[in-house]
Chain A
Amino acid sequence: MAEIDATGRSTREVNAAIRKSIAEGCTAITVLNPEARHNLAVAILNGVHVRIAGSAGYYCGGLGDGASIEVDGSAGWGLAESMLSGTVVVRGNAGSGAAAALRSGTVVVYGDAAARLGVSMKGGEVIVAGSCGYMAGFMAQKGTLIVCGDAGEAFADSMYATVCYVGGQIASLGTDAVLSSMESGEIEGLEATLSAHLPADLRRAKPAAADFKKVVAGRKLWNFDKREWRIWQEAL
């Protein structure tokens, strides 16, 4: 267990101190007084646990591969962007572009996520206990996107094979996004995922798994023929 006080240190020095602690065999690191600075705990390539004791700025946990990162406060733009594997948990709210281009691993937000959540995600799980802004899941390719609260406009626009679940209202579905019904065993799977990643009291306050809406790609854009003008008219 190592404690790194960010006060008076540059972010480069804080991240270097995290790496040094890992090299020394430390498996749990706490960063004190982060004060919402950017690029904290980026590109950590092993299974260490990093707790940010406060808020984080942009790109926290981005490009990581295997670390487990916990943010006590809120996170700024690009949380866990392009993460390859690992877990990022934010107790507060997340800024725009959280879990963008996520490759694998799990991103959990106890509060709300802003715009462009999980755009172009290529795998992994994104779980937001609150609501999310517009265009979540845009061009998402694989993985699972779960929003327990309300979803903003153009939800799940132009997706490939990501599966989305929304517990609240969807302001509007994006191009080629369609509602679908859950297959057998899927409700239990969703419940297991939510229970595994959300604290029990937070989980209880959210809709039952059976009440979630499932959204998938309508697959109309998968084999898009540019001469089909009706699709163009719908899409633009």
Chain B
Amino acid sequence: MCGIVGYFDKTGADHQPLGKVLLRMLHALACRGPDSAGVALFRFPQPHQLVARVKVGDHRGSASRILDVKAMGEKFGGREFTQQGDYLRFTLNDDGDLRSFVSSVESVAADVEVVSVGRRLEIVKQVGSPSRLEQSFGISGYQGGHGIGHTRLSTESVVDLSHSQPFWGHGYPDLAIVHNGHITNYHQLRRRYQQRGVRFYTENDSEVVAIFLADKLKRGITLRAALESMITELDGSFSCLVATDSALAFVKDSFSFKPLLYTETESFAAVATEEIAMRAAIPGDYVVREGRAKEVQIWQR
């Protein structure tokens, strides 16, 4: 099961009630995945500034842990620290070495994880229902231009914050994915990346999709080519949504094993596992269709 949703505003206005739309869509799909819920929101960027969201520990992190993470963040110019649930959120200048920032922050303790970094991207996820996500983080108040969301039914790996979706393309700013399905050559791919020194944070097969795409994009491959290569290089079932700072995209496996529906009007594009999510969140007259096997669609700003 699992439910995935995506919304892309085409009017160019960043101040859309993005959080509200994604939350309503997730509510409608909550029964597809009661284990955890999360969103990746693409908000309005501040010039030359990145937003980091860091999981401070498996159990909210002690006061000293938070201070340690904060101190490490400050070494990289971190400021405007706020704590929310398991997360420490702060901003930093967009001119440093991202790789060394991530590894330094994560060196504080084994259960510290940089959940997302981006000029626009913020990933907010946790164990529990979409309603709980709203209670903890008030995501309905978030504005932005596009975003993706996920409700998880865990089938292979543990239920905790790190194993929840969306996944950040670790080390690549503003890249987030959600995945519905099962990657059957996951272990093979994982070994291949680990031999090259890539760190895996979870045992969730969906994580490899984020690592795969981050690797391709870092090599300068276009988003379209990267998504098309998923169809030949990843086995199993996948309906995936991918978001970057300027695009929302989806890709489906060769057999269309998992549902994925989309609609597009002059003012927006929306994607969801079931049409019920769109009808619950977006009023108006629009035609919904199911993505084809091997289909790739990109909405670009």
Contact = CB atoms under 8 A, between A and B. Distances in A.
B and A form one assembly: yes
A114 interface: yes
Interface in B226-245: none
Among all A-B residue pairs, the 3 with the closest Cβ atoms: A36-B275, A114-B290, A35-B279
Given A114-B256, A152-B293, A57 B288 contact: no
Contact of B275 (A74, A116, A153): A74
Contacts of B290: 93, 95-96, 114-115, 133
B287 A36 contact: no
A146 B256 CA distance: 22
Interface residues of B, number: 16
B109 interface: no
Contacts of B288: 36, 55, 73-74, 92-93
Contacts of A114: 256, 289-290, 292
Given A95-B261, A114-B256, A152 B275 contact: no
A93 B259 CA distance: 14
A14 to B, nearest CB: 14
A218 interface: no
Q: Which of B280, B290, B292 has its CB near the most chain A CB atoms (within 10 A)?
A: B290
B276 interface: yes
Given A111-B289, A114-B290, A114-B292, A76 B280 contact: no
Contacts of A111: 287, 289
Given A36-B288, A92-B289, A115-B293, 10 more contacts: A35-B276, A36-B276, A36-B278, A54-B279, A76-B261, A93-B290, A96-B256, A114-B292, A116-B256, A133-B293
A110 B278 CA distance: 21
A92 B261 CA distance: 13
A74 B280 contact: no
A77 interface: yes
Interface of B: 255-256, 259, 261, 274-276, 278-280, 287-290, 292-293
Interface of A: 35-38, 54-55, 57-58, 73-74, 76-77, 92-93, 95-96, 111-112, 114-116, 133-134, 152-153
A36 B278 CA distance: 9
Contacts of A115: 255-256, 290, 292-293
Contacts of B274: 36, 38, 57-58, 76
Contacts of B287: 73-74, 92-93, 111
A82 B176 CA distance: 40
13 contacts: A35-B279, A36-B275, A36-B278, A54-B279, A73-B287, A73-B288, A76-B274, A92-B287, A95-B259, A95-B290, A111-B287, A111-B289, A152-B292
A76 B260 CA distance: 10
A58 B31 CA distance: 15
A36 B28 CA distance: 11
Contact of A133 (B259, B275, B280, B292): B292
A36 B282 CA distance: 12
A35 B272 CA distance: 14
Interface centre among A38, A95, A112, A152 (most CB of B within 10 A): A95
Contacts of A133: 256, 290, 292-293
A35 B280 CA distance: 7
Contacts of B292: 114-115, 133-134, 152
A111 B288 CA distance: 10
A224 B289 CA distance: 38
B289 A134 contact: no
A205 to B, nearest CB: 17
